Amino acid sequence: MTSAINIRPATMEEIDAVCALWQRLEASKKQQPFGGDKEDEIPVRTRNVVAHSITSETAISLVAENNDQLIATLSAYIYEKPAVQLPTVAVLYSLWVDPEHRHKGIAQSLLATAEQSLKQMGAQSLQVAWDSGNLPAERFWQQAGFSPYEVIASKILK
């Protein structure tokens, strides 16, 4: 029998488990511009960002667990963007669900919990980016009410 999914804030005591989820997300991404991150720097950068998202008053880090096992994570931060109509912007920079647990509403639940928390923290809008060509991600985000507004492209100069 499977227990219900529990969504809650991540804690510093489980930072290693949250970082492991983030690194699985990183490994699933397509090749990044500029060759991507240096492999030996990913664990350090990941740990720093996860620690910040857990401890900062302007960030959140959520996890979903099933039978005391972490199966999904979401992190976002808030910043001020002067000279726009809605200057308090939240940026979602990590949402990942273990492939065995996808298509069960976990991502939607994490997102709904994050939206509520970020709004309580003063966020007026929420931004997210996804890899170009990732059609499942594009469908997910558009079904969640997100609309693309710009394209960012890069070119390696030779």
**Tens-place pLDDT, residues 57-78:** 999 999 999 998 999 999 999 9
Whether residue 96 has pLDDT greater than 70: yes
pLDDT at 42: 72
Rounded CA separation 98/18 (Å) = 12
pLDDT at 131: 81
Q: Of all helices (H) and strands (E), which one includes residue 136?
A: helix 135-143
How high is the mean pLDDT of the chain? 88
pLDDT at 1: 38
**What are the pLDDT digits (tens) for 103-135?**
999 999 999 999 999 999 999 999 998 888 889
Query: b/e for 94-118, b at 16 or more Cβ within 10 A?
Result: bbbbbeebeeeebbebbbebbbebb
DSSP letter assigned to residue 90: E
Q: Which amino acid is at 127?
A: Q
Whether residue 35 has pLDDT greater than 50: yes
Stretch 33-49: mean pLDDT, rounded? Answer: 72
Which phi and psi angles does 149 have, rounded to 5°? -135, -10
pLDDT at 119: 97
What is the pTM assigned to this prediction?
0.86
pLDDT at 150: 84
- 8 Cβ contact partners less than 8 Å away, ≥ 6 residues apart: 62, 63, 65
Topology, domain 6-143: Aminopeptidase (3.40.630)
Q: Which amino acid is at 139?
A: R
Q: Which residues pair with 73 in a beta bridge?
A: 63, 96
- 57 Cβ contact partners less than 8 Å away, ≥ 6 residues apart: none
